[in-house]
Amino acid sequence: MKRQRTSKRPVDKALVSVALDGIGTTTSETVLYTATKACTVSSVRSMLSFVAGGGTIGTTSLVAWAIIHKRDGQQIGTAQPVLTDGANFYEPEQDVLLHGYAFVSVIAATIASQGAAGLPIVQETKTMRKLKAGDQISMIFRANATDQADVRAVNQLFIKE
């Protein structure tokens, strides 16, 4: 008996850039993908780099970032930009696909005179999330002080219908 081949589900690839300046104590968000119908997001990859956005020369700031699944009508949770032993990084935790921290130091009076940006941070995961129409995948940032960092990033997502 010959096996009948089934067609594969269509796979779409999204490459979404992020360019945010003045990341501070308020959560900044960039929507990476909004589902128009039921689908699955998988294989999320992010490459990002930070430069100091302000502050006094010699100061170091901490910036938390995450790629999250935000259900239709849901508000952004809280990312903690302070490393406290045993504290939760983001609430609700089950919505986090990728996350990280970056230390950003002010080494010159202006960004233009600081030279090259820091080394890129690259992370990826095979985590999958089923989305319903209206759900979003977002990238969020929050720093431990006002106007501490500028970020540039490119995010890759694979979407199966």
- Please provide the DSSP assignment of 11-66 as one string: EEEEEEEEEEEEE-SSPEEEEEEE-SSSEEEEEEEEEEEEEE-SS-TT-EEEEEEE
The predicted model gives 115-133 an average pLDDT of 82
Q: Which of 147, 142, 10 is nearest to 66 (CA)?
A: 142
- Domain regions of the chain by residue span: 18-160
Does the domain at 18-160 match CATH 3.30.1950.10? Answer given as: no
| Residue 87 DSSP symbol | -
Q: Which pLDDT belongs to residue 93?
A: 86
Residue pLDDT, tens place only, 46-85: 999 888 776 677 777 888 899 999 999 888 887 776 667 7
The yes-or-no verdict on residue 115 having pLDDT over 50 is: no
Contact 125, 97 (CB under 8 A): yes
Structure tokens at 40: 């699955």
- How confident is the prediction for the chain on average, in pLDDT? 83
Contact 17, 120 (CB under 8 A): no
Cis status of the peptide bond prior to 120, with omega within 30 of 0: no
Q: Which pLDDT belongs to residue 116?
A: 46
- Please provide the DSSP assignment of 105-150 as one string: E--SSSGGGG-SPPPPEEEEE---EEE-TT-EEEEEEEESSTT-EE
